[in-house]
Structure 1
Amino acid sequence: MDTVRAVLDLLKSGINITFSGKEPWQIVSITTSSVLFIVWLYDFLDRDESLSVRGKKTIFRLAKYIPQVRRKVEDELNAINKTFQEDVIKKTAHLDYIVELPDKGLERDEIIKKLHENLRINEEAWQSGLASGAVYADDSNVKDLVGEVFKLSSYTNPLHPDLFPGVCKMEAEVVKIICNLFHGDENSCGTMTTGGTESIMMACKAYRDYAKETRGIRRPEMVLPVTAHSGFDKAGLYLNIRLRHIPIDPNTCQVDIEAMKRAINRNTVMLVGSAPNFPYGTVDNIAEISELGLKYNIPVHVDSCLGGLLTVFMEKAGYPPTVTDFRLKGVTSISADTHKYGFAPKGTSVILYRDPKYRHCQYTVTTDWVGGVYGSPTVNGSRSGGNIATCWATLLYHGLNGYVDSTKDIIYTTRFIEKGLRRIKGIFIFGQPATSVVAIGSHDFDILRLSDALEKRGWSLNVLQYPSGIHICITKLHTRATIAQKFLDDVKEAVAEIMKDPSVPVEGKMALYGTAQKLPDRSIVGDITKYFLDNMYYVPKQKTVEYN
């Protein structure tokens, strides 16, 4: 106590000496400035990025206050935005835009005609089987079935179980079917959602609220690999959960378990692993993450949105996968997209829990609203029963044998492509692909040149960053005869051409991707992305038409 008192006396004397002879306004100004600086410094230090990254961000943010720099940035962004707009105009040049309701409603045949006109824009890009992911099946029999099912159920709404109990029954059946595929027991449960992002968000919401109720956590954090889907970043922003991103092993592309262990603290509300992850198609060591969850009593979420409805059939298809499901005691939830390898129409996914106590925390319940007690299981209140019914019908149509056969074809095609790519000099494969994604990089040339070359040959692949790479996600469309071999032939031909002069820099649109990775001020990259999203809603004024 004497030591503490001495330190306090010394501090007091120092402050008195510092402010000796100062005017009151000076004392107030110095004190206020010091407090603001300490707050800024705390905020600067209390972030996930390294000091160097934070320093660069601060410098670039301040630099944009310089008029010349600000004008230069704005000019570049406007030029990029114009490029996006020109792309929209080019794709829709042969069509007009309807921007006002016609006085008299259009006839059915005219509406269907215009629908076909819109759907035919760039239709060959995905129907050809040259696109990565996006469309996971194109079966005319299934489309006829779900079209009929949706017609009968489109105006139903499970928000009103008293009116539509059959829709709720179908949702319960979908959830239980998927629970059983992931080796859940009688306690396993879940809900349907509109997609993987909502499934992820629901898990994050459940664990945030569960930790608040049971452990009193007010500043929740989740620990997850850098390869985890960006849906977790969205969930963090929406739900005010801090993300602690963990690096991966550069060889295996799996999360560093020791680094994950070090990141766990008293505010950790969930651990995340991917089976598989989106960028590289590799599976994190879920068994070890499960053990961490058991050791520290923290829920573990396995994101199987992309390939979960492959892994559950792979053993029967002759490709036994690593165990990543409810057979691991520490795994408390799994997300899986039925609208990917479940081949259901877009707009359905499931979030599964080991125990109902977690699902209870997913729900939103309002007890004091003047409109009555209100409860909803997911983000949406009203939901289309049509989405539930079409998913349900698709599962029943394919059956176990149908999914096993499809999985066999998809995994065989993926392994065929992977094996062929490994024989091509000048490129390498990231990690060990586990399901349907094969990611390609190069130590000899800018891999974005290969992406550009393949795009000119009709392929649409996904671009990766940190490090640069591209990947192809194999779907049912790629299992058609000659598609896989065409991909290998095109890659081999393109790489051979590039290797004639590997030092040539990438040009055109792909150069923008490369430049974006190198920008220390990521807010500029964010602005570019916002302009890209803006142009999804861009209506060229000269192309509008009135029916009145």
Structure 2
Amino acid sequence: MNKIPNKGQDQQQILAQLKAFKGQDLPWQAGKIFAYIYQTTPEAKAVAEAAYLSFLPENGLDPTAFPSLLHLEQQIIGQLAPLLGGNEEVKGNCTSGGTESVILAVKAARDYARAKYPNQKEFEILVPSTAHPCFYKAAHYLNIGIQAIDVDPQTQRLKVADMRAAISEKTILLVGSAPSYAHGVMDPIAELSDLALEKDLLLHVDACVGGMYLPFFAAVGP
């Protein structure tokens, strides 16, 4: 068990120890890792590191204390919105990652349902069986039900008819992946959107992987 040392270490000792810790990490710099981190150009890496360090002490908890961070967040959202079909009315916020984003989306659906149906006690979300596990974490944290809909065994793609059949009075949110994290398969998002509109339900598209890639794929074409 590690304990707080009685005496601190100098800079060289600390940095050497940190370097040793990374000895078993995968060599992402060689482009051998499919996910988690991606190699870029030395110039882009240098700019990213300098930008990160220039804001290292700032805290995004209070935008009135650090309006620079709020400005950066608004710039990011404003630039991304058109890529996803949005306009100047789109609102959003930056999160710590995909799991937090999903939890916030599910919480928004739960809170919306509570306000819309104040006498209803049970709520449920419908997800493809290939959906990211964080949806189960969100359902657990927020005390709502979750039902996984089996996907096509050959294509690993959700069938909208099966999602439709699973909708009940408890359903508050439909989920589709663009693409699914482990399979790289696009669910039928447009058809899911039509179903959500027809049933007056919310739809969340998990584009953790595809959000920054699909718009450019569409622009380039097949």
- Give TM-score, length-normalised by structure 2: 0.92
Which amino acid in structure 1 is aligned with residue 33 of structure 2? A
Gaps spanning 5+ residues in structure 1: where? Answer: 1-97, 320-548
Letter in 1 for 2:193: S
Unpaired runs of at least 5, structure 2: none
Tell me how far apart the structure 2 counterparts of residues 244 and 313 of structure 1 sit (CA, whole Å): 33
Residues 297-324 of structure 1, C-alpha deviations (whole Å, 9 max, x = no match):
00111111012211011123333xxxxx
2:19 and 2:182 mapped to 1: Cα distance? 34
Partner of 1:300: 203
Displaced runs of 4 or more, over 6 A: none
Match of residue 155, structure 1, among 53, 57, 65: 57
How far is 1:261 from its partner? 0.6
One-letter amino acid of the structure 1 residue matched with residue 78 of structure 2: K
Partner of 2:2: 99
Do structure 1's residue 225 and structure 2's residue 124 form an aligned pair?
no
Structure number, greater radius of gyration: 1
1:237 aligns to what? 140
2:12 equivalent to 1:109: yes
Residue 192 of structure 1 aligns to a residue whose secondary structure is: coil
SS at match of 2:93: strand
- Alignment coverage as a number of residue pairs: 221
Match for 2:99 among 163, 175, 197? 197
Shift in Å, 1:101: 3.0
**Map of 1:129 onto structure 2:** 31
**2:78·2:88 contact (CA, 8 Å) conserved in 1?**
no
* Distance in 2 (alpha carbons) for counterparts of 1:185 and 1:130: 37
Q: Deviations over 1:158-195 (max 9, x none)?
A: 22222111111111111221222101122211111111
Matches within 5 A, 1:336-375: none
Pair 1:317-2:220 in alignment: yes
Q: Shift of the alpha carbon at 1:222?
A: 0.5
The 1-side partners of 2:64 and 2:31 are apart by: 44
Contact 2:31-2:38 at 8 Å conserved across structures: no
The whole-number CA distance in structure 2 between the counterparts of 1:318 and 1:258 is 29
**Counterpart residue identity of residue 16, structure 2:** K
Q: 1:284 aligns with which of 177, 180, 187?
A: 187
Match of 1:213 among 86, 94, 115: 115
Q: State the AA in 1 paired with 2:212.
A: L
Q: Deviations over 1:503-522 (max 9, x none)?
A: xxxxxxxxxxxxxxxxxxxx
Partner of 2:160: 257
Partner SS for 2:184: coil
TM superposition shift of 1:241: 1.6
Q: Matched residues in 1 for 2:57 and 2:111: separation?
A: 33
2:89 paired with 1:178 = no
Partner Cα distance (1:270, 1:161) in 2: 31
When residues 215 and 185 of structure 1 are mapped into structure 2, their CA distance, relative to the original with a 3 A threshold, is farther
Shift of 1:230: 0.7
Residue 138 of structure 1 and its aligned partner are, at CA, apart by 4.2
Displacement of 1:270 after TM fit? 0.5
- Aligned AA (1:207): A
| Partner of residue 404, structure 1 | none
| CA distance in 2 between partners of 1:306 and 1:121 (Å) | 26
SS of the counterpart of 2:24?
coil
Q: When you count helix as a share of all residues, which structure comes out higher?
A: 1
Q: 1:304 to 1:212 in 2, by over 3 A?
A: same
CA contact (8 A) 2:127 2:148 kept: yes
